[in-house]
Amino acid sequence: MICILEAMKVFNEIKSPWDGVVTSILVSNQDIVEFDQPLMVIERA
């Protein structure tokens, strides 16, 4: 698991599709994000 997102008071665990390291976080806590918006950059291990 790489993060937890809240949508309509439901918390969702987000998993990475591959092993790696988060190199950049593109949003801040409590930001409103759009569908398909990148949230972070993951460098493959």
Question: Which residue from 36, 31, 41, 40 is spatially nearest to 6, judged by alpha carbons?
Answer: 31
Tally Cβ neighbours within 10 Å of residue 3.
14
**Distance (Å, whole) CA 9 – CA 43:** 30
CA separation, residue 6 to residues 1, 12, 36 (Å) = 14, 6, 15
> pLDDT tens digits for 4-45?
999 999 999 999 989 999 999 999 999 999 999 999 999 998
According to DSSP H, which parts of 1-45 are helical? Answer: none
Question: Which residue from 4, 12, 7 is spatially nearest to 33, judged by alpha carbons?
Answer: 7
Q: Is 0.85 surpassed by the pTM of this model?
A: no
